[in-house]
Each structure stands twice: as structure tokens, then as C-alpha cells.
């Protein structure tokens, strides 16, 4: 799988998307890769052909590239990004670059994910 720059850069935090399945009580029961199919939205990931495997990924099980050899694995982190299960948010005008529960579905807005490439 091809990975794109800037997310493939070892100087960026690359974020993937997931979807969360809930039970009848609205309790999360599983979280899987977000993929609604061609043209309907999905996350991406893979192994860089350009950037080598960084030291911090050496023991996490990044697979080899399709053509063999190692490379930087993408994404680094993931969070719920499915428009059907993702966060609802709205910008807070008095505090730029922060969010709170609101009106727009679908974006990953956990503070740790807010600065992803």
C-alpha cells in the first residue's frame, strides 16, 4: 500500500481512522479500521518506500514493503473518524484551534490527534 507525504515523514504524526461498534447500551464493543468502500470514505496506511524504518518503530511489528525491505509504518495513531460514529464538534470562536461537542460529525478531535498530518 502506498503512503503519502507528509504523513509518511518521520517528522510528522500520522493519524488513521477507525469506526466504533456499540452495543444496545451505547457501550463500545469493538473498534476497527474505518473503510466504507470506494468513494464513501476510508482511512489509509502502509509502509513508506521513501523513509526508512525509524528506531521507535523497530519493535512494533511494521510489515515489510510490498517489494521487500523495511520502511516507516503509517499511521502512528488512530481514532474514531467514521462520520457515522465519530466525534461531533464545533469550533470555539474565543479559543481558536480548540473544539467542544457540537454540530459537525465525523472528524477526529481528540487532543492527541488534533495535530496529525
Measured from the Cβ of residue 36, the count of other Cβ atoms closer than 10 Å reads 13
Domain of 63, in residue numbers? 15-82
pLDDT of residue 39: 79
pLDDT of residue 92: 54
pLDDT of residue 55: 94
Count of the separate structural domains present in the chain: 1
pLDDT of residue 115: 55
Query: 41 in a domain, yes or no?
Result: yes
Full-prediction pTM beyond 0.75?
no
pLDDT at 49 over 80: yes
Query: 113 in a domain, yes or no?
Result: no
In whole angstroms, give the CA distance from residue 107 to residue 112: 13
Classify the C-alpha dihedral 115-103-79-73 as positive or negative. Answer: negative
Query: 45 in a domain, yes or no?
Result: yes
Amino acid at each position: 500500500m502506498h503512503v503519502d507525504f507528509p504523513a509518511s515523514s518521520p517528522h510528522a504524526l500520522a493519524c488513521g481512522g477507525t469506526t466504533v461498534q456499540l452495543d444496545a447500551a451505547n457501550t463500545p464493543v469493538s473498534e476497527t479500521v474505518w473503510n466504507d468502500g470506494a468513494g464513501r470514505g476510508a482511512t489509509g496506511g502502509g509502509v513508506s518506500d521513501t523513509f526508512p524504518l525509524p528506531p521507535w518503530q523497530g519493535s512494533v511489528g511494521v510489515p515489510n514493503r510490498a517489494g521487500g525491505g523495511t520502511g516507516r509504518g503509517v499511521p502512528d495513531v488512530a481514532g474514531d473518524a467514521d462520520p457515522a460514529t465519530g466525534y461531533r464538534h464545533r469550533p470555539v470562536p474565543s479559543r481558536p484551534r480548540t473544539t467542544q461537542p457540537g454540530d459537525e460529525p465525523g472528524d477526529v478531535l481528540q487532543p492527541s490527534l488534533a495535530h496529525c498530518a
